[in-house]
A = this chain, B = another copy of it.
Amino acid sequence: MMQQVADILSNIEKLIAELPLQREPQGLYAPIGYSMQNGGKRIRPLLTVLACQMFDNQKTDDAYTPAIAWEMFHNFTLLHDDLMDNAPMRRGKPTVYTKWNANTAILSGDTMLVEAFRILHQTKSDNFSQIIELFTKTAEEVCEGQMFDMEFETRNNITESEYINMIRLKTSVLIGACLKTGALTGNATHNDAQLMYDFGINLGLAFQLRDDWLDTFGNAETFGKRIGGDIVSSKKTYLLVKLLQSASTADSEQITFWLNRKIFDEQEKISFITSMYKKYEIDRIGQAKVEEYGDKALQTLRQIGNNSKIDITQLQEISNKLLNRNK
């Protein structure tokens, strides 16, 4: 029988709540429990389970183990990234290094990475060795993406392809790998498993580019974060990379001046950079790029459905929700 999204999400929550984290030393394990219960949407494990079910709903239950491993890995990256980025809050709650301290954040994060592998190793699948290879390669790539992201902070000459490659590594390979893990657990053909990965890459790119766009052009009420945060912190987003590429020499000088200013009026900076985005049509270009990758993603998904005569409805609905489309 097909499991519905709501049921899968409730199973995932239950499995996370049952993780053996009531252990000594509590100084090590309590921050892991806290991180895992941070109110995340569980998109990644959901994608793993849905992808498996799409290919073989007899195997759905086997997909939960690697799904939880992916969620543990994802939360490990958030824990260490928050420390590296000096982010004091996440989803309205203090981050681990704020609530405890930097050393706890390092060591509890390390333990989460080990735990992710411990859970992964319990996966029951004919494709076990492919799954652990995919997991390990992806984990490595996510670290590479975070390093590129940190390196970009001090550079003003990032090309579009460098930027896309960075978000591919930092965000999209994880989405692709969660989907492919599910496909492999469901014994998809090699070709379908690869298409699921490609679907995830494009979905992840569209999702991240949309996040960049919303941070400047979104609706404060529905976005949940303050509008213009990326502009205030001079974050290298897709919009900024495109703007620095398109602007005239005179405008570039002004933009760089604002990016480098240490003391400034935040609203003034947001207004100026936003006006530049509009002048060079970066809002439209950014939105078009989201559409482009979103279309590619959904096209790939339909291709899998047609190839193998299987039902893609659940993944299609989730994707549309993630991309906030009406169809």
Contacts and interface: CB of A to CB of B under 8 A. Distances in A.
Chain A interface size band reads 20 to 34
A84 B97 CA distance: 13
B113 A140 contact: no
Interface string A134-170: 0011011001101110110000000000000000000
A9 interface: no
A103 B121 contact: no
B144 A25 contact: yes
A106 B84 contact: yes
A121 B107 contact: no
A118 B148 CA distance: 21
18 contacts: A25-B144, A25-B147, A25-B148, A27-B151, A28-B143, A28-B147, A80-B110, A84-B107, A103-B150, A107-B146, A107-B150, A109-B110, A111-B140, A113-B113, A117-B117, A118-B136, A118-B140, A121-B129
Interface of A: 24-25, 27-28, 80, 83-84, 103, 106-107, 109-111, 113-115, 117-118, 121, 129, 132-133, 136-137, 139-140, 143-144, 146-148, 150-151
Report which residue of A27, A80, A106 has the largest number of chain B beta carbons within 10 angstroms of its beta carbon.
Answer: A106
Contact of A106 (B27, B83, B117): B83
Given A106-B80, A107-B84, A147 B27 contact: yes
Given A28-B143, A84-B107, A110-B143, 5 more contacts: A24-B144, A80-B107, A107-B143, A113-B113, A117-B136
